[in-house]
Chains A and B, each alone.
Chain A
Amino acid sequence: GAGVSQSPSNKVTEKGKDVELRCDPISGHTALYWYRQSLGQGLEFLIYFQGNSAPDKSGLPSDRFSAERTGGSVSTLTIQRTQQEDSAVYLCASSPDYDNTQYFGPGTRLTVL
């Protein structure tokens, strides 16, 4: 079956612009996670959704970052007024409610010039 998909796969933007990153989880998965991996760093937790609600937003690095999930499915991560330090690979993962295993998408590589 289809796995987690993310779009775009690559995004180059200018400092100060807003970007939207999209995640399509595996159908039926109730939990959705956003992470980012900066160059040479491990995975950094950003936010977690259970259904459409986000019980844990503690990983969002600043108020320029926001995320939403609609219909218990697609999620969008928005970064406003991008900065160069936002450059990273943004990974989305989903998991079913009976399993701890997270299934990751291929990521979106964001480059802020």
Chain B
Amino acid sequence: LAKTTQPISMDSYEGQEVNITCSHNNIATNDYITWYQQFPSQGPRFIIQGYKTKVTNEVASLFIPADRKSSTLSLPRVSLSDTAVYYCLSGSGNTGKLIFGQGTTLQVKP
């Protein structure tokens, strides 16, 4: 499974759009890109997944350029409750086995 690289931390203010970029230079043809969110003392929670171009759901958008070597998670109009650690993962396989990196700690300020 390909290794991912993402910023260790980011700060934002309520109401702003937050973009977290992840690098996955060695992504394989069959790999998908997945993002999880984790609050303190809880297990990670799935946010969004994509293979190429753009994917949007009720909480986020995921932008993947044509070369797929990076991806950007976009959180529109963040609130204090979006303060969490965000993990980017790339991988594939029948087992759904995932390798989590260190994640990005997002701090949303009032």
Indicate whether A and B interact. Answer: no
Q: Which B residues are closer than 8 A to A by beta carbons?
A: none
Q: Which A residues are closer than 8 A to B by beta carbons?
A: none
